Structure 1
């Protein structure tokens, strides 16, 4: 079997029942561009699947984007207005596993909400609505536009020199899509900025002191990753790290 990448699920309700789910686009990008087998980890409310168990059954982890926002109490902000879409179960499962997996050297890729989770799990804070901050872009998608437009190129990012992202893509700037409302405010201790948007929003981070591959980006490289050079390189680099981890674990 190919090396395995774990994905902690979102939770949602359909009728009276709760479901654990992951977007198809992440699963397909992992299969096509990272050459791995994805498995879904339920976001359990009791007896959750912890970091040690994830490391036993997988060789890397992907923290995906999602439609929910991280609970503001997780980073010391006031309670969100009524009706804001939150997923407390996902928060509880992702934020608790991330530090241990990161420090163990477990290969890790974060996308959109996954970048925000990395920052919050390590002690950073977020802007709950970055578009309300003076001088910042509106980084949200137009929900009335076709999905190809929603996930199409929207703004450029400037890559920080001598970082992991620059080594992967080999470019100083390139265009990305943008589909998010939250963004990093205070960078967590130990994290390093890998890219900025022109409005100074942090677009990518890594933890250089952690022993394994780790990278988180604010945009959505999983969207048709095989059609985009930078996205393909990001997933391929993650896949290479997962394969190497699997080989070392099996030796």
Structure 2
């Protein structure tokens, strides 16, 4: 790891939450920050994803790259032309208002981002795609949601294989055409955006690994949670390392 003084900055997109069910906070999982700091070798900076507090233009200048994290609230279906239902769950319109234009701006500028779970879905929606509200209700699909009980280790346990496109970016990164991942999501890609390339699918066909076609920068996103055990997992570690290298390249070019 490099000395702390000159690490590039990764904006870690935060979520809204409540402490003791009453005190509003902006929050981010510690495992996200640990993966950025210890594996990507960058400085994690938690972002309050709210247009009343930050703007996309400010974030693009302050940060060198972005980690689009998971989160319990889902993207509002109005963002992809559909009406909300009970199956769509809770929403965070403030985060929608920041992350979706942020993804599009990063794609245009070549500024790197890594999408995880909800962040994976944000990349697809930002690029014109749509989502299924509940994957497990589709014929032939498995239940990808977090197990309702058990320890944190059991919740993030490796649960299914992801098959990767031979010769693709993810296969090259992982050195394999099939990897084992966790799964903790309810929604998933329905229609991919016009520039979204799906390179990885779960055994039931659910899209799991994507990037943006013809984007000048790092635009990889995964539906699973690679931040869990990122320092030691053979799939998570190279993903965060590659993201960190892209962020350092951006920061160096900016300087």
With normalisation by structure 1, the TM-score equals 0.94
**How far apart in 2 are the matches of 1:238 and 1:198?**
26
**How far apart in 1 are the matches of 2:52 and 2:63?**
21
State whether residues 124 and 189 of structure 1, in contact with CA within 8 Å, keep that contact through their aligned partners in structure 2: yes
Q: Which runs of 4+ in 1 moved over 3 A?
A: 13-17
**How far apart in 2 are the matches of 1:63 and 1:217?**
10
> Which residue is equivalent to 1:97?
102
> Which residue is equivalent to 1:55?
60
> Which residue is equivalent to 1:167?
172
**How far apart in 2 are the matches of 1:30 and 1:173?**
24
Check 1:172–1:103 CA distance in 2 against 1; reply closer, same or farther (3 A cut): same
Give 1:55 deviation, angstroms: 2.2
Aligned residues: 249
> Which residue is equivalent to 1:218?
223
Give 1:17 deviation, angstroms: 4.1
> Which residue is equivalent to 2:235?
230
Decide which of 193, 201, 215 is 2:198's aligned counterpart.
193
Unaligned segments of structure 1, at least 5 residues: none
Deviations 1:132-183 (A, max 9, x none): 1111110012121211011011000000123221121110001100000000
Decide which of 26, 30, 33 is 2:36's aligned counterpart.
30
Unaligned segments of structure 2, at least 5 residues: 1-5
State whether residues 7 and 61 of structure 1, in contact with CA within 8 Å, keep that contact through their aligned partners in structure 2: yes
Matches within 5 A, 1:1-251: 1-14=6-19, 16-46=22-52, 48-50=54-56, 52-81=57-86, 84-250=89-255
**How far apart in 2 are the matches of 1:135 and 1:212?**
35
**How far apart in 1 are the matches of 2:88 and 2:37?**
35
Q: Which moved more, 1:52-61 or 1:13-22?
A: 13-22
State whether residues 41 and 49 of structure 1, in contact with CA within 8 Å, keep that contact through their aligned partners in structure 2: no
